[in-house]
Amino acid sequence: MTLSPRRLWPTALFLGVAFDFLFWGKNPGVSFAIYVALCLGGGLFVLILEKQHPSSGASGLLLPIGLLAAMTAIRAEPMSLFLAHALTLLLMALLATTYRGGLWFRYSLSDYFLRLLRLAGSTLTLGATALARARRRENKAAMRGDILPHIKAVMIGLLLALPVVIIFASLLSSADPVFARRMNDLISLFRLEKLPEYFFRLVLIALVAYALAGVFLHAALRSEDEHLIGIESPLLKPFLGITEAVTVLGSVLLLFASFVSIQFRYFFGGQANISLEGYTYAEYARRGFGELVTVAFFTLLLLLSLSAITRRTGRARLVFAAFGSGLVALVLVILVSAFQRLLLYEEAYGFSRLRTYTHVFIPWLGALLIAVAALEFLQRQRLFATAALLSTLGFAITLNLLNVDAFIARQNVARHARGEELDITYLSTLSEDAIPTLVSLYRTPSLPSRTRHLVAVTLACYRNLNNYRLSEERPWQSSRLSYRQARYALESLQDDLSAYRLDPEGWPVTIVAPDGEAFDCSEGGYH
């Protein structure tokens, strides 16, 4: 059974036109979330009318798809946006591959790779197959005397006639100036000078429609076959003995144990122990939290690799799981050490995007490590792919719900209120997500006057550095909620910020406060 071409192709063509309307010549904004909703609605419309309902497992993907797509219309911070866009597309592809089967939560990494590869193949081939089948039906209909095939033939004839007419019209225009003037009037009416652009956009619309038709057909015809790779026989036959594997795990375990013994001294000794070794808190924090997170990540890869290639049955499975769990326990302590160092680093130097990403990433990496150890004991190693996907979704959703730039602004302003430095330049380079928070902080009466003063300087720097962005009229397709909120928030402080004037002789941007103090927005200093 296939999909009715009378529903499939008009829906796919509508989505192709919608793609052109929402994205051509425009930066993505709220348009991405709208287009995701249109694609989901169009696909479900075509499939459900053919009595092909989504499986319960596939339906469970609709909630995270909707949440992540909505975030692309709200946030402006780059990493949050990238993860929301990428994971939305990944989950939509996963929805198409498991639409009727619904067993995506049992996929291994090999299943993910193969099924996404098959989906890509379907976008290239299934549309052509459907067109050929529809063409055969039309030929049969033409033999019966139906009118629709004749209408289509006329349309194709008109498309073929168009380039011929253009060539003859140009020759006749050269021969007669009056005719040429009439043709110029016609060209100006239809803006035919943009004919190459129109042609390219028509081709793009056709390609998008063709690819989406292939996706819908894949969901209908090829998503029910949920034969999982490695269930009957492993994709890679284990070849390493348990003794060799345990030796590797034991060696790494001893190394990590010696490292962890030193970390416990620091956990309970505090600043005194760190200073005894010749390091200040800030120097101790600066050294190593990135390296420790890297160690945890590569330990995860080591466990997965050894699990895939080690032969083990009966008691050997428990031995391997015990050593793996012990290694995970030590790595969790290392992650705690990395997290502690990161907290010290943030306390000493403030928050940045990279530190905030790491701040959120460490707990999710720890959760994934615990899941790997549990799956090893339960002998459900193939579910690692699902655990990794859920951890990645958790990381991305946490970043979006946290509102990274607003969090950075809030934490750094709070640090200054406690007597630390405030980098106004860095704050003024954050995205629109931070502006409503900064405006709210400026209006907080309990904030120290100097801190409120620097927040106002930051907002003045941001307004002048981004004046071209704030003043431009964006098409609604490119707009985001964060942009509108930032614009309205700054407009509400117009009277207060007007006292912080731009020095026309300062370069690149110098803000002069009401008391005459000058702030260089390019370097974050003031003099």
Q: What is the mean pLDDT of residues 102-124?
A: 88
Please indicate, yes or no, whether residues 447 and 328 belong to a single structural domain of this protein: no
- In whole angstroms, what is the distance from residue 159 CA to residue 157 CA? 5
Predicted confidence at residue 94, as pLDDT, reads 94
Predicted confidence at residue 326, as pLDDT, reads 86
pTM, entire model: 0.83
Please indicate, yes or no, whether residues 70 and 208 belong to a single structural domain of this protein: yes
Q: What is the mean pLDDT of residues 426-436?
A: 91
The DSSP annotation for 485-513 comes to HHHHHHHHTHHHHTTSEE-TTSSS-EEE-
Facing residues of 511 across strands? Answer: 502, 519
Please indicate, yes or no, whether residues 71 and 10 belong to a single structural domain of this protein: yes
Q: What is the mean pLDDT of residues 353-382?
A: 87
- Give a yes or no: residue 24 inside a domain: yes
Predicted confidence at residue 195, as pLDDT, reads 65
Containing domain of residue 135, as a range? 5-147+194-221
Q: Which of 363, 381, 400 is the last residue of a domain?
A: 400
- Give a yes or no: residue 499 inside a domain: yes
- Give a yes or no: residue 340 inside a domain: yes
Q: What is the mean pLDDT of residues 161-177?
A: 74
- Give a yes or no: residue 198 inside a domain: yes
Say if residue 364's pLDDT is above 70. Answer: yes
Q: Average pLDDT over the chain, rounded to whole?
A: 82
- Give a yes or no: residue 65 inside a domain: yes
Say if residue 86's pLDDT is above 50. Answer: yes
Three-state secondary structure along 381-441?
HHHHHHHHHHHHHHHHHHHHHHCHHHHHHHHHHHHHHCCCCCCHHHHHCCCHHHHHHHHHH
Q: In what order do the strands lie in the sheet with 501-502?
A: 501-502, 510-512, 518-520
234-271 per-position pLDDT tens digit = 666 777 888 888 888 888 888 888 888 876 665 545 55
Please indicate, yes or no, whether residues 85 and 214 belong to a single structural domain of this protein: yes
Please indicate, yes or no, whether residues 409 and 395 belong to a single structural domain of this protein: no
Please indicate, yes or no, whether residues 11 and 55 belong to a single structural domain of this protein: yes
Q: What are phi and psi of 14, to 5 degrees?
A: -60, -45
Please indicate, yes or no, whether residues 201 and 331 belong to a single structural domain of this protein: no
Q: What percent of the chain has pLDDT over 70?
A: 83
pLDDT band of residue 80 (cuts 50, 70, 90) is very high
Predicted confidence at residue 186, as pLDDT, reads 64
- Give a yes or no: residue 514 inside a domain: yes
Please indicate, yes or no, whether residues 319 and 359 belong to a single structural domain of this protein: yes
Please indicate, yes or no, whether residues 355 and 460 belong to a single structural domain of this protein: no
Evaluate whether 413 touches 424 at the Cβ level (below 8 Å).
no
Please indicate, yes or no, whether residues 367 and 263 belong to a single structural domain of this protein: yes
Q: What is the mean pLDDT of residues 195-202?
A: 78
**Domain total of the chain:** 3
Please indicate, yes or no, whether residues 341 and 426 belong to a single structural domain of this protein: no
466-510 per-position pLDDT tens digit = 765 666 677 888 888 888 898 889 888 888 888 888 877 766 678
Q: Which of 400, 423, 440 is the last residue of a domain?
A: 400
Predicted confidence at residue 279, as pLDDT, reads 55
Please indicate, yes or no, whether residues 104 and 202 belong to a single structural domain of this protein: yes
214-241 per-position pLDDT tens digit = 999 999 888 886 677 666 566 667 778 8
Q: What is the mean pLDDT of residues 14-33?
A: 92
pLDDT band of residue 68 (cuts 50, 70, 90) is very high
Predicted confidence at residue 281, as pLDDT, reads 54
